[in-house]
Structure 1
């Protein structure tokens, strides 16, 4: 087995002569390597600023290696002007894979039988009835650019389509059949080949159930409000894992050929079969927690360490036999997890969750071990005084809970206010509802 420490040692050697900076709005996005790397540093600001703005105003040694959460045209231009070595994939590739319409057209050439029924049109050239005949009613509408489900519409009435005709008559829209099924998210790392005769590795992370549109957490019915690795383990069987892995391999292989390296995410939905519904062409937001869970559950390779090693274009690590490791050996060394979850509290129009307010420890309440004033993007632990279950004569310990403060000061609708992370169990039931423990946790916010 190749351990995560071995990957960290390789990264140390890779940044020995040239420093590596992870520049980000939020520190936890770049915190997955730990504190042992002298030439690696996460750069952020308080209060949080845009990544491009940080790059523009901060001084870096010439030709420093730079990693960002997601590349864009402005970031790439600034790095070029300041003679910095940006390691993320080219922003043109990011746009191609991230934008709803271009990603669908590209996926259609790779996995045509594993996509939902789709119509790409402009509102003034089609009608609700015609599209409904092809896709069924209701159907999903998405414009080319949207984030965290804010640009996703459930179109069920002629009136809604007419509103689109009036507001955006010539704007392209992707219309997709509505499927009522579980959504699974997978983080994938592409570790590219260093020469033509080497095979690039497609490293599939641990599938998580995507928590979507919970009314307690957001106003948007298709906004991502968390991930649950515990629930994914319960609802996926061996055939599901096999199908999802095959699709990840097909898409990953095509992306490596196009020059992608490092992390991206795939979303799947289960109808009559598993279908791919979205590519997230960047480091997925759940990477930080998946890495933390991997560290707690074993010594195997973490998703974030693989991401950094891939972006640095390091050679595959040496296996215990002393020869270069193969992709199969790397994959087997990838740390598996079977528990953990997070929920995201987003700003609603009439949001009551703007402050962390610990309630007293009662029968059905959660009491923190640190006061609310310390929660300035700092990780703290809550205890779980709820009745503990007994297993084999031993009491289970409290669920370790971590709270990360988000954009609490902003007035932006649907901004992330808090991220609540559970290291032992899940937060949702199989019908996409908060479980009792999650509901009790929310009583700590007002």
Structure 2
């Protein structure tokens, strides 16, 4: 008998009831499973599910203007008591246990299967968690527990976390003394966890503590802080199961499992049972893993993971089934079904929230085949940061850290819930950018290459820093064959080191030329080779050579010349425009530089965020850290120069952002290539 079969055999004899405010939280099992029952609020999604599982679902109605009925009140509702008696259930499970839920359960005379509220809170709260972790606190970023009034600004940004937080809402970036003073004045005696800022991708995973040990779920990439889904840079807005295999090495995955096992073993010793989740960040510079968070409960993405597992391999063990078996003391050892793909995005209420009937906005998504869940928060007293819409897909939604793929972008475009419009590069150009960011289908950004430093003349485009992604992959493949190296067995970082050691990469003008040429192709305009002028080619012979070897003879000054492009105002910027940096002062020892605008977000027709891509080597990158990189310019001072705005790249801003430092020393213009 399969492990999951033991669960189904058990609940057909002893009914299992899940009580929750939002019905999607109960999809830890399919809602039409025999012996599995759900008590929840009467919502459109709830009614749609009840049509398919009439006997299994009890929907509790509320008044038209009433917010969602809380879990504790659902437990004590007269209809619930009658329902439990009818099916002969004397125990329930919930999404997240608390003291009020426990009180309601005692009043009704039912047992809660989840771990006690006191235990869960001790483990999950940011202050008590440090003490509970003990020796395992070594996995956390460098931190200290202090009251806010005792923290002094030392000139370096840091993170503060309040004791209670949910989905990143209790985490705040202290980037200057003014922000610190605002918190200190409002909560002077509040204890917080002060932590070092770690820049890099975040991963999350679900695990179940059972009587047989810890059953490990799949690692997913946590999509965090992406606009227009949230205003909060720390808020979770989705997760993706495809990206971790492109980002994490085998050694990092092994370290990740080591952290998860140690946390799970500690929970087991506490008498904890069922699901817990962990969030882990990979520091981009050192590639070291740090534990960010422990969720001592069912996580919000556990139902999505369980659904993907059921879809991919029906009848085999899911993480949701392992959770319920642990709560019911049914022996289970795992493993669960492996997931290689799939992603979800979450729209939260933002400052620019407009839509009062989100369901009207989601029909196009459903027509496209996405699975959509709409919560009632947007139309019934929703607060900033609350989830409104969840969109799920069986394929990945991101192509690299903090970057949606074409499917993810399609969701963002079909879900215009905020009054923020987003304009992006055409598909042909986006594929070029994605190719440079993820060579060989891995998280392998193309290294930076400067032809001036390399001393390469009359060479192949690839050898001169001008190759397209597919040309670079082909050349690297040939070099690896000659060296008897199997690239399929190499990690992304090893491939990058090989490329850098063999002087393969792309420079800023080569990157820009190929992207801009793809933009023109999408518009059915003349190619850059046929339309560019070469004002710096002084002889007829040089002009002929430039025409035939266009990309090799196109540098930043050529593209920024009035013969080839026109200067525009920052307010007019569009995807496909350039931000050029020309160093006119000979004392400044910098190479001219160029950024290509990939995305523009507007509010009231004014740009609020400009995203760009460039190929660059920062001094802090060392020998192997440089290459194609994406950044964002937050327009916080609309009437001022673009260099006065907030630039963020590689997690750095202000003086730590080398691209911005370069810009401040140069003549910076926003330019648009002439159309013809």
CA offset at residue 353 of structure 1? 5.5
Deviation at 1:434, TM superposition (A): 2.4
Task: List per-residue Cα deviations over 1:281-302 (Å, max 9, x = no partner).
Answer: 1101001111111112224310
TM superposition shift of 1:413: 0.9
| Correspondent of 1:275 among 265, 277, 290 | 290
Superposition deviation, residue 163 in structure 1: 1.8
Residues 1:54 and 2:70 aligned together? no
What's 1:394 paired with?
none
The answer to whether residue 435 in structure 2 is matched with residue 435 in structure 1 is: no
Contact 2:16/2:89 (<8 A) preserved: no
Is contact 2:75–2:108 with CA below 8 Å preserved after alignment? no
Structure 2 equivalent of residue 414 of structure 1: 385
Equivalent position of 2:150 in the other structure: 125
2:494 alignment partner in structure 1:
none
CA distance 1:77–1:440, shift in 2 (3 Å): same
Cα distance, 1:78 vs. partner? 1.3
Structure 2, unaligned runs of 5 or more: 44-67, 418-676
Asked whether the 8 Å contact 2:281–2:289 carries over to 1, the reply is yes
Query: Could you say if the C-alpha distance between residues 306 and 161 of structure 1 is closer, same or farther in structure 2, counting changes exceeding 3 Å?
Result: same
* Residue 28 of structure 1 pairs with residue 24 of structure 2: yes
Matched, 1:303 2:319: yes
From 226, 229, 233, the counterpart of 1:214: 226
Task: Supply the distance in 1 between the matched residues of 2:33 and 2:382 (Cα, whole angstroms).
Answer: 37
TM-fit CA distance, 1:350: 1.1
**8 Å Cα contact 1:110-1:254 kept in structure 2:** no
1:67 corresponds to which of 93, 96, 99:
93
* Aligned counterpart in structure 2 of residue 160 of structure 1, from 179, 193, 212: 179
Secondary structure of the structure 2 residue equivalent to 1:420? strand
- Partner of residue 276, structure 2: 264
Question: Partners in 2 of 1:420 and 1:214 — Cα distance?
Answer: 15
The answer as to whether partners of 2:130 and 2:137 remain within 8 angstroms in 1 is no
Partner of 1:322: none
- The 8 Å contact of residues 31 and 38 in structure 2, kept in 1 or not, is answered as no
Contact 2:19 2:71 in 1 (8 A): yes
**Match for 1:382 among 347, 367, 370?**
367
Measure how far apart 1:29 and its partner are: 1.8
Q: Deviations over 1:128-161 (max 9, x none)?
A: 22xx6xxxx2110111111111121100111222
SS of the residue corresponding to residue 378 of structure 2 reads: coil
Confirm or deny: 8 A CA contact 1:185 1:208 kept in the other structure: yes
Q: Report what 1:244 is aligned to.
A: 256
- 1:49-88 CA-to-partner distances (Å, cap 9, x unmatched) read 2111100112123761200001000111111222101100
Q: What is the deviation of 1:204? A: 1.0
CA-to-partner distance for each residue in 1:347-378, whole Å, 9 max, x for gaps?
Answer: 1111245524569xxxxxx955xxxxxxxxxx
2:139 is the counterpart of 1:114? yes
Q: Which runs of structure 2 are paired with 1:257-406 in the superposition (5 Å)?
A: 257-271=269-283, 272=286, 273-299=288-314, 300-316=316-332, 327=333, 330-331=334-335, 334-352=336-354, 355-357=358-360, 367=364, 381-383=366-368, 400-406=369-375
What is the CA deviation profile of residues 318-356 of structure 1, one whole-angstrom value per residue up to 9, with x for unaligned ones? Answer: xxxxxxxxx4xx22xx10010000010001111245524
Distance (whole Å) between structure 2 residues aligned to residue 125 and residue 358 of structure 1: 48
Whole-angstrom distance in 2 between the partners of 1:265 and 1:401: 26
CA contact (8 A) 1:18 1:65 kept: no
Higher relative contact order (CA 8 A, sep 6+): 1
- Stretches of structure 1 lacking an aligned partner (at least 5 in a row): 193-199, 317-326, 360-365, 369-380, 384-399
- Cα deviation for residue 113 of structure 1 reads 2.7
TM-score (ref. length: structure 2):
0.54
Distance 1:434-1:351 versus aligned 2 partners, 3 A rule: farther
Change (3 A) 1:77 1:431: same
- How far residue 11 of structure 1 moved from its aligned partner, in angstroms, is 2.0
* Aligned Cα root-mean-square deviation (Å): 2.0
Secondary structure in structure 1 of the residue aligned to 2:102: helix
**Residues 353 and 244 of structure 1, relative CA distance in 2, 3 Å threshold:** farther
Q: Is the 8 A contact 2:17 2:89 kept in 1?
A: no
- Confirm or deny: 8 A CA contact 1:357 1:444 kept in the other structure: no
1:254 counterpart residue number:
266
Counterparts of 1:287 and 1:353, CA distance in 2: 28
Q: Secondary structure at the match of 2:204?
A: strand
Compared CA separation, residues 110 and 252, structure 1 to 2 (3 A): farther
